[in-house]
């Protein structure tokens, strides 16, 4: 499997890591869409949210808590946390990831 995010998670591809533990890695986005734009990924390869199952429930919850921790670490009062599911939704890397973005006004509806 040639997954760039798996390479970042295992350390074989260098990135600007901002958080890591045994289950989750977070790093700065190479093409930021906001002044703060971090990607949060599970170390476990899950291609997209629709492929997660019940055994991933704790991992998915942990990712949300890591997002909260990063928001506190970066002193983000207002932020957006989003994941895209599939190419039609804008997912460009087939590894589940969450975008934590802040530092500018976000419009709604998104997209």
Distance (Å, whole) CA 65 – CA 85: 20
Question: Does residue 97 carry a catalytic annotation?
Answer: yes
37, 45, 95, 97: the active-site residue:
97
Q: Return the number of other C-beta atoms located less than 10 Å from residue 14's C-beta.
A: 9
Q: Return the number of other C-beta atoms located less than 10 Å from residue 60's C-beta.
A: 15
Q: What residues are annotated to the active site?
A: 97
């Amino acid at each position: 499997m040639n997954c760039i995010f798996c390479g970042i998670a295992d350390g074989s591809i260098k990135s600007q890591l901002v958080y890591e533990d045994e289950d989750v890695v977070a790093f700065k986005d190479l093409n930021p869409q906001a002044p703060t734009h971090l990607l949060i990924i599970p170390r476990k390869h899950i291609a997209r949210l629709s492929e997660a199952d019940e055994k991933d429930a704790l991992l998915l919850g942990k990712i949300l808590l890591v997002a909260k921790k990063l928001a506190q670490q970066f002193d983000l009062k207002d932020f957006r946390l989003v994941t895209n599911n599939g190419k039609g939704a804008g997912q460009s890397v087939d590894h589940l990831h969450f975008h934590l973005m802040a530092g500018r006004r976000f419009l709604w509806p998104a997209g």
